[in-house]
Structures are given as structure tokens and as C-alpha cells.
Amino acid sequence: MFLSRWVLPESPRWLLALGRTTEVMSILESACKFNGKKLPPNLDKQLLPGANDEPVENVSVLDLFKTIQMRKRTLCLFLIWFSVYLVYYGLVLNLGNIGGNLYVNSVLQGAVEIPAVAISIFILLKGGRRWPLSLTMVISGIACALTVPIYLATADMQWVVTSLTMISKFCVSSSNAIMPVFTAELYPTTIRNIGVGAANVSAGIALMLVPYLWNLSTLHASVPMSVLAVFGVFGGLSVLFLPETGGVRLIDTIKEEKEITKIADIETNENKKINNNCCT
């Protein structure tokens, strides 16, 4: 990761949003040279900011909570990242606590990871983000919840518990692949890295709690899986409060985000007035 700083170029879109056109041109020229292509004529002039353009905005972590829409988006993502990491690592790091053979469980959880990630890549390339992320999280939580009656009823159906755990692991592995892409696309370019980094804070808190999760089994053997079920379901439902980003043009600045939100509010109010007039 450290060496990639000198190998991977900076994002041209981010540099352009900050007004650093000289660096953008340098990266584009290197890319064209590598691919054996030529840049369009006068591209450097097209990238230069116009006289009427707004000055480059300075952003900070406080901008994640500046508007109502941004606050809602940020808080939902905090819950989503916390839930995905709690369920994912709650299952991965506690394979020995779900019962059955530890080595068989390890092989199975590795086996379900590969198709889960492969399917997620296909979904990201061909489909949306919002519904796939929501459904995989909810199904993962439901699979955990279905183990609770078995813990309460009998200890002789370990194969069912293991099967449901692997279904949950499959779904949350898919969620874990879709979630970072969805998060990055929800934020404007100028604050995208701050938004993703802030969401990772809640994921880190989940990781700190995971080692103590199975201590709750002293209350009852079903309590740890119940906790995972609750966060899986509620985390998945919170995704539905966020907009779809698949196939949608990404926003570059917070100012642009505010303008789009303002236009959407005006259209919503106009539709309400039309509906009220129709009803009367």
C-alpha cells in the first residue's frame, strides 16, 4: 500500500474538482502514452476554469453533517458499516463458537466467500447498489435469526446451524464488497475520501466489539446470533433511506449537491400541490 503512492496516479476527477488542471493533464498524457492514444485537441483549454466559475471549496469532516440530506446519508452509512463489519467479523472470528468442527467451518466459510465476491462484481458492473446491498444484509440477518429457535429447542441440529451461518456469511460477504463502492458514489468528489474514511470509523468500533460478542452467550447460547440478526436486518433496512447510485452521474462538489437537493424539493412540493388540487 505504501509503494502504491508512486505507482497509482491520483484521481483526475478529484484533482479537476479542486482546480488542479496541470496535474490532470499530466496524468491524462501519461495514460494516453501508455495506451497508444492521443489527447483531443485543446483539451487543456477546456479543463481550465472559466471566469465565472466558483472558487475551489474547502471541505472538512464537518461538511458531512452540513445539510439535512448529508446528515441523513452519513448517519445511515455509519449504521450500515457498523452492521456489516459486526456481522461479517462476528461470524469469521467466531467460527469455533458456532459449534461443529472448526476446520470444516473454516473451509466452508472460505468456500462461500469466492462466489459471493464474484456475484458482487457482476452486480456492480451490471446492476444497482441500493437493493442488492439491502437484500444481502437483510437475508444475512434473517439467516442468523433462524438459528435462534434451534438454539432454544435442541442441540442435536448442528448441521442446520452451520448451514444457516454459511448462508449468512455468503450474503454479508456480498454486502462487504458492494458497500465501499456504494459509499464512495454517495458523496461528492471533493469530500468522497473524507466520507469513506468517516464511515470506516464506525466499522472500527464494530471490530473492537467483535471479540467480546460471544461473551453474551453466558446469558444464553442464542444471544450472540440474535445480536447479529438485529444489526443485519436493521442495517439492511437503513440502506433503503439512501438513493440509488448505479448508472447515475456522480456529483463533484457540495454546492452541486445542494442545488440538486433544492431542485428535488421544489419538484416534490409542486407534485404535492398538483395532487392536492386533483383531490379537491
Report pLDDT for 74.
94
Does 105 share its domain with 27? no
Does 43 share its domain with 71? no
Asked if residue 57 is part of any domain, the answer here is no
| 202-244: pLDDT as tens digits | 999 999 999 999 899 888 888 999 999 999 999 999 999 999 9
Q: Calculate what percentage of the chain has a pLDDT beyond 90.
A: 42
Asked if residue 280 is part of any domain, the answer here is no
Report pLDDT for 225.
92
Asked if residue 4 is part of any domain, the answer here is no
Report pLDDT for 52.
42
Asked if residue 37 is part of any domain, the answer here is yes
**Residue 155 CA: distances (Å) to CA of 109, 138, 159, 182, 266:** 21, 26, 10, 40, 58
Domain of residue 38 covers 9-47
Asked if residue 269 is part of any domain, the answer here is no
Asked if residue 3 is part of any domain, the answer here is no
Report pLDDT for 101.
84
Which pTM was predicted?
A: 0.80
Does 132 share its domain with 205? yes
Regions of the chain with pLDDT less than 70: 1-6, 17, 44-57, 155, 264-265, 267-280
Does 142 share its domain with 108? yes
Alpha-carbon distance of 82 to 76, in angstroms, equals: 10
Does 90 share its domain with 211? yes
Domains contained in the chain, number? 2
Does 26 share its domain with 124? no
Q: What is the mean pLDDT of the chain?
A: 84
Asked if residue 168 is part of any domain, the answer here is yes
Asked if residue 262 is part of any domain, the answer here is no
Does 71 share its domain with 43? no
Q: What are phi and psi of 106, to 5 degrees?
A: -65, -40
Does 117 share its domain with 232? yes
**Per-residue burial over 52-85, b = 16 or more CB atoms within 10 Å of its CB, e = otherwise:** eeeeeeebeeebbebeeebeebbebbbbbbbbbb
Does 102 share its domain with 170? yes
